[in-house]
Amino acid sequence: MAEFWEMDASEIAQGVTSRSYSARQVVESHLARLSEINPGINAVVQECPEEALAAADVLDDRLARGEDVGPLAGVPVTIKVNVDQKGYATTNGLKLQKDLIAKQDSPVVANLRRAGAVIVGRTNTPAFSMRWFTNNELHGMTLNPRNADLTPGGSSGGAAAAVAAGICAIGHGTDIAGSIRYPAYACGLQGIRPTVGRVPARNATAPDRYIGAQMMAVSGPIARSIADLRLGLAAMSVGDPEDPLWIPAPLTGEALPKKVAFCPAPDGMEVDDAVLAALTQAAEALRAAGWQVEGIDCPPIREAAEINAQLWMAESRAAAATIAAEDDPDATVVFQRMTADSTEMDLGGLMTCLQRRIGVQREWLHFLAEWPVVLCPSSGMLPFAQQSDVGARSGFDRIMEAQLIQRALPTLGLPGLSVATGMAGAAPVGVQLIGGKFREDILFDAGEVIEAACGQPRVTTPV
Catalytic residues: 80, 155, 179
DSSP readout, 83-96? Answer: S--TTSB--TT-GG
Interior angle at CA 161, CA 156 and CA 165, nearest 5: 155
| Inter-residue contact 112 to 102 (CB < 8 Å) | no
Identify which of 151, 128, 125 has the alpha carbon closest to the alpha carbon of residue 44: 125
| Inter-residue contact 93 to 126 (CB < 8 Å) | yes
| Inter-residue contact 194 to 173 (CB < 8 Å) | no
| Inter-residue contact 218 to 194 (CB < 8 Å) | yes
| Inter-residue contact 259 to 371 (CB < 8 Å) | yes
Backbone angles phi, psi at 423, to 5 degrees: -120, 145
| Inter-residue contact 190 to 451 (CB < 8 Å) | yes
Identify which of 141, 185, 90, 145 has the alpha carbon closest to the alpha carbon of residue 378: 185
Residue 250's CB is within 10 A of a number of other CB atoms, namely: 9
CA–CA separation, 247 vs 39, rounded Å?
40
Pairing type for strands 218-223 and 118-123 reads: unpaired
